[in-house]
Amino acid sequence: MVLSLRKFLPAVVGLFLLSVAVMALAGPATAAPSPAPFTPRRQISVNQSGYYSHAPKVAVLVSDSQTPLAWTLKDGGGQTVLTGETAVKGPDATSGDAVHWIDFSAYVTPGKGYTLAADSQISDPFEIGETNYGALKIDALRYFYLNRSDIALEQQYAGAWTRPAGHVSDSKVTCYAGADSTGKKWPACDYTLDASGGWYDAGDYGKYVVNGGIALWTLLNAYERNPGAFADRALNIPESGNGVPDILDEARWEMEFLLGMQVPEGQPLAGMAHHKLHGLRWDAMPGLPPAKSDTRFLFPPSTAATLNLAATAAQCARVWKSIDADFSARCLTAAETAWQAASEHPAMLAAEFPALGGGPYNDDKVADEFFWAAAELYLATGNPEYQKFYTAASDQLSSRSMFWGGTAPLGTISLATVGQDAAARAAVVKFADEVLSTMQDSANGYLSPVPATGYVWGSNSVALNRAILLALAYDFTGEARYLDAATEGMNYLLGRNALNFSFISGYGMQSLAHPHHRFWGNQPAKGFPPPPPGVLAGGPNGNPADPAASAAGLVGKPPAKSYVDDVESYSTNEVAINWNAPLAWVAAYLDDTARPILSGPRLAPTPTAAPTTTLSSPSATPRPVTATPVPPTEPQTPSVSPGFMVGGAIVLGLFAAAAVVIWQRRKS
Ligand SMILES: [Ca+2]
Ligand SMILES: [Ca+2]
């Protein structure tokens, strides 16, 4: 269970505190070892994974110096390959750090183990070249298989994350009977549903239609944008080899669950979707999912959940039309039935049951869900009634980013990508310009795509959803600045941030190791493995709301530093399907779209000023380094050709001109 907006926090805090109390009453859970207090190890932060050769390459040095400082780029053998001077940027608003930029974009030679040195500091080693976003795409998608409900994760697919099936009893669940937080009594129902399948939502074992909806949509949108990037046998899952792209097999696991949440024909609320499915109390932390549960229930239907079903089932109808016509037809029927039901119950807001073992995911605005579903249904059917509906709701054609409770952008993006709708594309580009302006703000020292107010629960997904919009803006305009900015979003997540920390497990020298997840408790001796690679942490949260965060001293810290890699810190270090989905989307995009452009030759723009950076000669004397050198795997002789020198000088000239302009603006 995760949230993304501050306004929902009080309810969630209450819920979690209650859950903690319930668990305490039920007996102590196995205590996880406390990780060492988190402190940034070094003051030069880089994308610890790597930079494309021809992408912008900026590292951030923390220093109070008011004047530029010398920096050195060394290759994996310790050989100096480029030197320069930092650009003094001053205070970074969300971390409080005084920062300088080290711009080494001019250096394009592929290799591993590069380090930057300046002001007696040394960066983590990183790669320049093609980078490993292709691997990250696979790992980020495998997150979903590794969180499947109702299926045993087998050794051949799951490796160290093998476990028995959890919650097979979800194949026959009935309605919760009890009062909600307003006192309204919900009766039992006289039906059971097969709500098997689906992914566990986050660190907990709940399954929520609203959050499942955006996560599923994101995976299907990645596929619809570029089907050729997703192959069968790509993910090593049980369906690998069935002739269907594995991303669709994985998406179908969730789609079947969402279809299973629909109220059957003949019932008073037929066609509506139950909001969620979870237990009466939170499961132990850490702990495996139980095979069966007799205290797990369907919670009341909601308009938002019903429209999530309508939207994703419409998307399903499109995607599977040529792959599995029967499944496509089943999805379309469910989608149109859900749309009709939601139209008849347009304001059935999610009921809250705060004392139970699940999150609320309550959403009191559903005009965005109506817009989204209408757009998806139009794209699936061509029915002008749906077009009429979303056209009339043009205020929802949004120049904004998305989250589970704000889904209008999902409709906008589908219209822009699948529908090639000009107005929708313009809205995407307009918002991408806003993201660019956030990143170019002089107080944004780490080039973070997250706005100053965006360091909320799950802020890393804010960064990724904004990167999706940047990426799409490049698709629609071909303007390099959007593509470059999309790579900057990943630079932020992979270490070039105020914590000098990679929020993605398995990627980078210091990366997520203790996520708030009930199975990946990182106590191998007790059967709780570390996280698999490619898992995204929720990230810095300016309003940390858990005891572990308080114990780590996060309360009152600058928002961009309010994070701890601790299994107990659910408000900063939980994982979630709706966070890993945009990670997979962006990694796939970088691999299929950015890599061919940015790891190959790139034409330099026209020079406007003399370069300020000097390229060292291939025979430069190696200087000793104090960091542990990483064994090089690429030829170590720098190959600086005359063409490269000219191109580099041109690029550097442009940067120098930009620096002068920025400096003059800052002074004025
Ligand atoms: Ca397959
Ligand atoms: Ca909403």
Q: Which residue has the tokens 């080899």?
A: 241
Q: How confident is the model at residue 5 (pLDDT cuts 50, 70, 90)?
A: very low
Q: How confident is the model at residue 629 (pLDDT cuts 50, 70, 90)?
A: very low
Instruction: Answer yes or no: 574 catalytic.
Output: yes
Ligand nearest to the CA of 253: 1
Does the structure show a pLDDT above 70 at 396? yes
Mean pLDDT score, 354-382: 96
More confidently predicted of 207 and 355: 207
Q: How confident is the model at residue 398 (pLDDT cuts 50, 70, 90)?
A: confident
**Residue 372 Cα, ligand 2 centroid: separation in angstroms?**
10
- What residues contact 297, with CB distance under 8 A and at least 6 apart? 173, 174, 175, 176, 277, 278, 279, 280
Does the structure show a pLDDT above 80 at 434? yes
pLDDT at 602: 54
**Residue 230 Cα, ligand 1 centroid: separation in angstroms?**
10
Provide the sign of the torsion angle of the four alpha carbons 189, 340, 343, 359, taken in this order. positive
**Residue 245 Cα, ligand 2 centroid: separation in angstroms?**
31
Q: Return d(Cα 411, Cα 221) in angstroms, integer.
A: 11
Cis preceding-peptide flag for 449 (omega within 30 of 0): no
**Residue 243 Cα, ligand 1 centroid: separation in angstroms?**
5
**How many angstroms separate the first and last alpha carbons of the chain?**
47
Q: Return d(Cα 65, Cα 493) in angstroms, integer.
A: 26
Q: How confident is the model at residue 524 (pLDDT cuts 50, 70, 90)?
A: confident
Instruction: Answer yes or no: 516 catalytic.
Output: yes
| CA distances (Å), origin 92, targets 442, 559, 561, 576, 623 | 8, 11, 11, 28, 31
Of 204, 363, 368, 421, which residue is the catalytic one?
A: 204
Q: Return d(Cα 556, Cα 559) in angstroms, integer.
A: 8
The pTM score is 0.86
**Residue 360 Cα, ligand 2 centroid: separation in angstroms?**
13
Domain spanning 166-181+192-420: which CATH class is it, in words? mainly alpha
Does the structure show a pLDDT above 80 at 342? yes
Ligand nearest to the CA of 303: 2
- What residues contact 299, with CB distance under 8 A and at least 6 apart? 175, 176, 274, 275, 276, 277, 278, 351, 353, 358
Ligand nearest to the CA of 157: 1
pLDDT at 649: 43
**Residue 509 Cα, ligand 1 centroid: separation in angstroms?**
33
Ligand nearest to the CA of 141: 1
220, 224, 225, 229 alpha-carbon torsion, rounded to 10°: 80
Q: How confident is the model at residue 92 (pLDDT cuts 50, 70, 90)?
A: very high
Q: How confident is the model at residue 607 (pLDDT cuts 50, 70, 90)?
A: very low
Does the structure show a pLDDT above 70 at 84? yes
What are the structural domain ranges in the chain? 44-132+602-667, 166-181+192-420
Query: What does the pLDDT look like over 234-254, one tens digit per residue?
Result: 999 999 999 999 999 999 999
pLDDT at 145: 98
Of 565, 566, 591, 592, which residue is the catalytic one?
A: 565
Q: What is the 3-state secondary structure (H, E, C) of 411-440?
A: HHHHHHHCCCCHHHHHHHHHHHHHHHHHHH
Does the structure show a pLDDT above 90 at 23? no
Q: What is the 3-state secondary structure (H, E, C) of 260-288?
A: HCECCCCCCCCCCEECEEEECCCCCCCCC
| CA distances (Å), origin 569, targets 33, 38, 152, 287 | 13, 13, 28, 16
At residue 636, φ and ψ (nearest 5 deg) are: -95, -10
pLDDT at 376: 98
* Per-residue burial over 132-151, b = 16 or more CB atoms within 10 Å of its CB, e = otherwise: bbebbbbbbbbbbbbbbbbb
Instruction: Answer yes or no: 278 catalytic.
Output: no
**Residue 227 Cα, ligand 1 centroid: separation in angstroms?**
13
**Residue 254 Cα, ligand 1 centroid: separation in angstroms?**
15
29: number of Cβ within 10 Å: 18
pLDDT at 399: 79
**Residue 407 Cα, ligand 2 centroid: separation in angstroms?**
6
Q: Return d(Cα 343, Cα 367) in angstroms, integer.
A: 11
Does the structure show a pLDDT above 90 at 444? yes
Query: What does the pLDDT look like over 530-585, one tens digit per residue?
Result: 999 999 999 999 999 999 999 999 999 999 999 999 999 999 999 999 999 999 99
**Residue 312 Cα, ligand 2 centroid: separation in angstroms?**
15
The single-letter code of the amino acid at 395 is D
Q: How confident is the model at residue 369 (pLDDT cuts 50, 70, 90)?
A: very high
Q: How confident is the model at residue 38 (pLDDT cuts 50, 70, 90)?
A: low
More confidently predicted of 521 and 461: 461
Of 124, 368, 574, 592, which residue is the catalytic one?
A: 574
Does the structure show a pLDDT above 90 at 138? yes
Q: Answer whether 304's CB lies under 8 Å from 330's CB.
A: no
Q: Alpha helix (H) ranges present in 55-166?
A: 133-145, 155-158
Instruction: Answer yes or no: 100 catalytic.
Output: no
pLDDT at 11: 38
The single-letter code of the amino acid at 95 is S
Ligand nearest to the CA of 304: 2
Helix/strand/coil for 14: helix
**Residue 530 Cα, ligand 1 centroid: separation in angstroms?**
27
Among the CATH numbers 3.30.1490.70, 2.120.10.30, 1.10.3720.10, 2.60.40.10, which is that of 44-132+602-667?
2.60.40.10
44-132+602-667 and 166-181+192-420: identical CATH topology: no
Ligand nearest to the CA of 237: 1
Task: Give which of 430, 377, 403, 439 is closest to 538, Cα–Cα.
Answer: 403
Of 100, 274, 516, 517, which residue is the catalytic one?
A: 516
- Please state, rounded to an integer, the average pLDDT across all residues of the chain: 87
The single-letter code of the amino acid at 576 is A
Query: What does the pLDDT look like over 45-61, one tens digit per residue?
Result: 999 999 999 999 999 99
pLDDT at 521: 86
More confidently predicted of 521 and 72: 72
Mean pLDDT score, 11-16: 37
Q: Return d(Cα 161, Cα 154) in angstroms, integer.
A: 8
DSSP 546-602: SHHHHHTT-TTS-GGG-----TT-HHHHB--HHHHHHHHHHHHHIIIIIHHHHSS--
Q: Which residues surround ligand 2, an ion (CB under 5 A)?
A: 363, 365, 368, 405
Query: What does the pLDDT look like over 260-270, one tens digit per residue?
Result: 999 999 999 99
Q: How confident is the model at residue 600 (pLDDT cuts 50, 70, 90)?
A: confident
